[in-house]
Amino acid sequence: MKLARLWQPRNPAFWLMIVLNLLSTALAWIARKLELAPAAALVVAGFAVANALIGLRLMWGLMREEPVRPAAGD
């Protein structure tokens, strides 16, 4: 596994990983900075953790597979 394999802008999984990790960051910030009811804070934190885990799973998959190569005409 190579860390350089993460950079795959032609692979939709790459962009999904980026979006999920950004969303996790935003949700974690919301959970920490806003005064939410305990139940709402748990829901937001749960979504943040779930997004982070899905993003990590996508990252692991990108590191394991070969990068998508552009076609000869691209």
Question: In a structure prediction context, what are the per-residue pLDDT tens digits for the chain, which is 74 residues long?
Answer: 677 788 888 889 999 999 998 998 899 899 889 999 999 999 998 999 999 899 999 999 988 877 667 666 55
Element holding 62 (H helix, E strand): helix 38-64
Distance CA 65, CA 12 (A): 13
Give the pLDDT of residue 18. 93
Distance CA 24, CA 57 (A): 14
Give the pLDDT of residue 53. 93
Sign of torsion over alpha carbons 7, 13, 18, 21: negative
Distance CA 22, CA 41 (A): 18
